[in-house]
Amino acid sequence: MDADKVFKALGDPTRRRLLDLLCEKNGQTLGQLCENLDMARQSATQHIDLLEAANLISTVKRGREKLHFINPVPLHEVYERWVRKFERQRLSLLHDLKQELEGDDQ
């Protein structure tokens, strides 16, 4: 939703670890996540709130449980904007270099 929030949310090792945990197993409860982080609920909740505000985590209530899901859609937008564009240029540079070295007349 907001690139600043995404980058800020990613700029912390605990929050990146949270995303990794959800990548390994999607749909975890706060309790499960705290266990894996070795962290008190209160601090974990603050990190999760920031990730949720950046739309990197979505939550769903299933019965009495609240499950957390990784939401990589904003990451994909960042990838489109900040990675793929430059990757393309780099690849086309390599392509030009290869043509230059190998010649076009094969």
Partner 1 sequence: MTRETTSFVYVTYIRSTPQKVFEAITRPDIAKRYWGHENVSDWKPGSKWEHIRANDERSVELIGKVVEISPPTRLVMTWANASQADDPTKHSRVTFAIEEYDTMVKLTVSHDELEAGSGMAKGISQGWPAVLSSMKSFLETGTGIDLFAKPKSA
What is the closest distance, in whole angstroms, from the C-beta atom of residue 76 to partner 1 in the complex?
Answer: 4
What is the closest distance, in whole angstroms, from the C-beta atom of residue 29 to partner 1 in the complex?
Answer: 14
Binding-site ranges for partner 1 (CB under 8 A): 1, 26-27, 55, 58, 60, 69, 71-73, 75-77, 80, 87-88, 91-92, 94-95, 98
On the 0-12 / 13-18 / 19+ scale of CB atoms within 10 A, 37 is middle
Q: For residues 41 and 73, which CB has a smaller minimum distance to partner 1 in the complex?
A: 73
Q: For residues 37 and 53, which CB has a smaller minimum distance to partner 1 in the complex?
A: 53
